[in-house]
Structure 1
């Protein structure tokens, strides 16, 4: 994927500034909305993704992500999905710009929550509100982890992001989806029967995150009996 820095998108509406991060499936940039007032410029995050063949499995998964993210947008603790547009090669998703970093960095590098129970409570209650909101709408995230929890610039507001694995089914037969540290034992699938609760899997991840915030570390790598830390738990 090329570097979009300095390019204009959406018929000149967005000026792409600097790259905020990249992953296996695309890049995220900070962008200026050129239609916003000079005295009060509006900035957004634009996620640039490869465009897939219409109707392909990758395209259908991407469309599902966008539809579910749109559905749950509008809550203060969810990163807002503003719009999506395409060209021949790429898809561009316009999202809230969260400049305060992510919860993973706050826990591991900044030690923001160390010995600060009041701040833990404030942040975690916002995350609970976000998850309750999406569950009330029948959406289950399946990849709740600190890297997908973003902060506002002053760290007073947190927002849940990245709905790439989210689904509407309350039960699932797809095992091993998500991040190993935050998967429930049922999601890992070693001791499961045929399905697991996606709602309960999200709630399990919240418990692990709370442990992260309090202790500054992960309690285990896999929630299975052959993980010594989990076995001790």
Structure 2
């Protein structure tokens, strides 16, 4: 799991998770994930037989600001729920003033991070990449149209349902088009301006354009199974090389010239000149070939120097947040 900054609430006390919630209608089963935000469990709806994902948010011991963050996550997810590429928030259950339970769609395929790192991913399959990425962009465009900016776009927050993808986790989302919450999100996916700027010091950043940058990193993840850099900042040698020469990534990754132009439009250091989401979606779908080869790309060993610089996703799995 990629490290996430500024998670609003403390972890759920797992001993407080009951065997069943919602008057016994949801039977809690195995845990799907746990982190700074709380925990996510698989649950059986005894009335419909459907499997649900239940996100358990601890409300005990929170200060007023943390409670506001918690309520905001529910409110913003509900606002964008219903889109085919966003996990439906079916209901919110509160019991004993201790935990808040968000009942959502449950994907049998797991998340996109698992697909990329453990199941071979999409490397070499342009058709599948275009389909999944197009769905992700559609979800983000829907969020932006509703005035919601995700701010934590990454493969772990995209759940797979067969050939469909659904966006989850609005714990860091905001309704502010212009934000001063610097460093909010996951390190590998942060835009330079979200970290205070690269070329010039930023006093704020555009929340929508920050999401666009994160989508560019996800696109690299899909095509090559790795990150372009560990962090878009001056301390990162690979990113610094890109700043000097924005064709640099093509020298270390087998991307086509057409795809390279798309990536440069996403990773534009001036956010005001960054590609729009509709244009990004259009150009990716129209790209004749994402890579310079039609065969599956053989990636360097994570132990290699370049592999370290490019932060392979498989290596990232060891960095649990």
With the length of structure 2 as denominator, give the TM-score of the two structures: 0.68
The gaps in structure 1 that reach 5 residues or longer are: none
With the length of structure 1 as denominator, give the TM-score of the two structures: 0.92
2:23 match: 11
Deviations 1:145-176 (A, max 9, x none): 11111101x2x110011000000111101100
1:91 match: 100
Q: Give 2:141's match in structure 1, choosing from 110, 132, 137.
A: 132
Runs of 4+ in 1 over 2 A off after TM superposition: 2-6, 52-55, 190-193
2:117 match: 108
What are the within-5 Å matches in structure 2 for residues 176-191 of structure 1?
176-191=183-198
Deviations 1:59-110 (A, max 9, x none): 0010111100000000010011111111221111101111211111111221
CA RMSD of aligned residues (A): 1.6
The gaps in structure 2 that reach 5 residues or longer are: 1-12, 243-321
Q: Tell me how many residue pairs correspond in the alignment.
A: 227
Normalized per residue, the structure richer in helix is 2
1:10–1:216 Cα change, 3 Å? same
1:93–1:230 Cα change, 3 Å? same
1:24 match: 36
Question: C-alpha separation between the residues in 2 aligned to 1:5 and 1:225?
Answer: 43
Asked whether the equivalents of residues 121 and 225 of structure 2 are also in contact (C-alpha less than 8 Å), the reply is: no
Q: Give 2:46's match in structure 1, choosing from 22, 34, 39.
A: 34
Q: Which has the larger radius of gyration?
A: 2
Q: Which has the higher contact order (CA 8 A, sep 6+)?
A: 2
1:50 match: 58
1:173 match: 180
1:161 match: 168
- The offset of 1:138, in angstroms, is 0.8
